[in-house]
Copies of this chain bind each other. A is one copy, B any other.
Amino acid sequence: MSTILSGKEVVKSLKEKIKEKLNKLNSVPKLGIYLKTDDDPARVYSNSIVKKAKKVGIDAQIIEVDPNITHEDFEKLYKDTEGSFDGVIFQRPFPKNVDINLINNIIDPKKDIDSVSSYNLGKIIQSNNIIAPATAVAVIDILKYYDIPLKGANVAIIGRSVSVGRPLVMLLLQEHVTPTVCHTKTKDIPSITKNADIVVVSAGRPKLLTKEYFTTESIVIDVGINVLEGKIVGDVDFDDVVDSVKAITPVPGGVGTVTTYRLLLNLLEVMDA
Contacts and interface: CB of A to CB of B under 8 A. Distances in A.
Contacts of A104: 119
A162 interface: yes
B173 A178 contact: no
A179 to B, nearest CB: 6
Contact of A154 (B166, B173, B187): B187
B187 A152 contact: yes
A104 B123 CA distance: 10
Given A169-B181, A187-B154, A125 B122 contact: yes
A117 B122 contact: yes
Nearest to A172: B181
A182 B178 CA distance: 6
Interface in A170-217: 170, 173, 176, 178-183, 185-187, 192
A128 B119 contact: no
A192 B152 CA distance: 13
Nearest to A170: B166
A166 B167 CA distance: 11
Nearest to A180: B180
Given A185-B152, A192-B178, A166 B162 contact: no
Contacts of A176: 183, 185
A173 B162 contact: no
A3 interface: no
A96 interface: no
A178, A181, A182, A186: most-surrounded residue (chain B CB, <10 A): A178
A123 to B, nearest CB: 5
A101 interface: yes
25 contacts: A101-B128, A104-B119, A118-B121, A118-B122, A118-B123, A119-B122, A120-B122, A121-B122, A121-B125, A121-B126, A122-B125, A125-B125, A125-B162, A125-B167, A151-B185, A152-B187, A160-B173, A166-B170, A169-B181, A176-B183, A176-B185, A178-B185, A178-B186, A178-B192, A179-B180
